[in-house]
Amino acid sequence: MLASAVVIYMLVSILYLYAAVGERWNLVVSALFDSRVLGAIVISISSALIVGALAIAAAIPSAYLLAYKSFRGKGALETFLIDLPQTFPPVTEGLVYLLMFGRIGLAYTYAAVLIAKFYVSAPFAISFATRRFREVRESGLDVIARTLGAKTSHVLSRILLPLSSRDLLAGFSLTWARAMGELAATLVFAGAIPWRTEAIPTLVYLTAAEKPEVAIAASVIAETLSIVALLLFRWIARKGS
């Protein structure tokens, strides 16, 4: 009973937006040709893709460190890399970046969008990679590879990465989705300059009161993009296995 209620709650949360659009689909289509909306879509997708790629690049050495190395404070480091960014208020993080990087001219730039989104999104990729690297370590396959003469670079390129490709893709897709939806840190640190730093969430936030039809149209586009992208990533992962 409770499970059904949860399922209904989740479904309604996703589908209600489409119901709200109703027969006004022409609004969504015309929003696609609105320069400001188009700019927000481009900024959102491109920054989320770059953040996803950077997160994977950061996740591989971080996961190796957490899975294979023993050192004092490892638990604290893991909390710092994975748990804290997911619980830390994004708006506060945006303010931290504004104070830290504002004086060197990074605020209100495309780089600011990437920096803000990376902090809150990358933990997904690091978490997925760390979990999988630990599974491989427990299987002992890396020890066998080393007895055969493999160095760390061989273990990474020939064992860990091929055996973790699905998990890395899953980490990438969740990082991408989280980066697509990030609002507070981006708004505070990067602002909302059309075609420069304004992403879909900031556009929705800024237009919801004055131009609700634009906000709804942009939301439908963002939600559809997220669903399609997640299905695509899953399909690629299934095909890869």
Partner 1 sequence: MKGLVVQGISKSYGNIKALDRLELTVNPAEFMAVMGPSGCGKTTLLLAILGVLKPDEGHIWIDGKDIDELPLDERNIGYVPQDFGLFPHLDVYENIAFGLRVRKHAEAKIRDKVRELLLIVDLGGMEERKPKELSAGQRQRVALARALATGPSVLLLDEPLSSIDEATKGEVRANLKEIQKKTNVTTLCVTHNPEDSFQLGERIAIMYSGKIIQCDTPQGILDNPKTDLVRKLVAPMYILWNRTGPL
Size of the site for partner 1 (CB under 8 A): 17
**Nearer to partner 1 (CB atom), residue 74 or residue 158:** 158
170 in helix, strand or coil?
helix
Cα 99 from Cα 107, distance rounded (Å): 9
Smallest distance, Å, CB 124 to partner 1?
Answer: 24
Site residues for partner 1, 123-142, by CB under 8 A, read 139-141
Q: Give the C-alpha distances (Å, rounded to integers) separating 209 from 93, 185, 213, 216.
A: 26, 21, 10, 11
Member of 12, 57, 100, 143 binding partner 1 (CB under 8 A): 143
Question: Which residue, among 220, 114, 105, 129, has the nearest Cα to 176 in the 3D structure?
Answer: 114
**Nearer to partner 1 (CB atom), residue 142 or residue 182:** 142
58 in helix, strand or coil?
helix
Tokens 């990729």 belong to: 125
Residue 10 Rama label (left phi>0; alpha psi -120 to 50; beta): alpha
Smallest distance, Å, CB 127 to partner 1?
Answer: 22
Q: In the numeric block, which tokens belong to residue 77?
A: 């480091």
Smallest distance, Å, CB 240 to partner 1?
Answer: 10
x/- binding map, residues 163-202, to partner 1, per CB under 8 A? x---------------------------------------
Smallest distance, Å, CB 238 to partner 1?
Answer: 16
Smallest distance, Å, CB 158 to partner 1?
Answer: 7
**Nearer to partner 1 (CB atom), residue 33 or residue 71:** 71
228 in helix, strand or coil?
helix
Question: Which residue, among 146, 90, 152, has the nearest Cα to 120 in the 3D structure?
Answer: 90
Smallest distance, Å, CB 30 to partner 1?
Answer: 48
Q: Give the C-alpha distances (Å, rounded to integers) separating 72 from 63, 94, 126, 134.
A: 16, 30, 20, 18
**Nearer to partner 1 (CB atom), residue 83 or residue 138:** 138
Question: Which residue, among 159, 164, 142, 158, has the nearest Cα to 63 in the 3D structure?
Answer: 164
- Our finding on whether 4 is near partner 1 (CB under 8 A) is no
- Let me know the angle formed at the C-alpha of 39 by 38 and 43, rounded to the nearest 5 degrees: 120
- Our finding on whether 147 is near partner 1 (CB under 8 A) is yes
Smallest distance, Å, CB 162 to partner 1?
Answer: 5
Candidates 99-107, 109-117, 151-159, 167-175 — which segment interacts with partner 1 by CB under 8 A? 151-159
| Residue numbers at the binding site for partner 1 (CB under 8 A) | 139-141, 143-151, 154, 158-159, 162-163
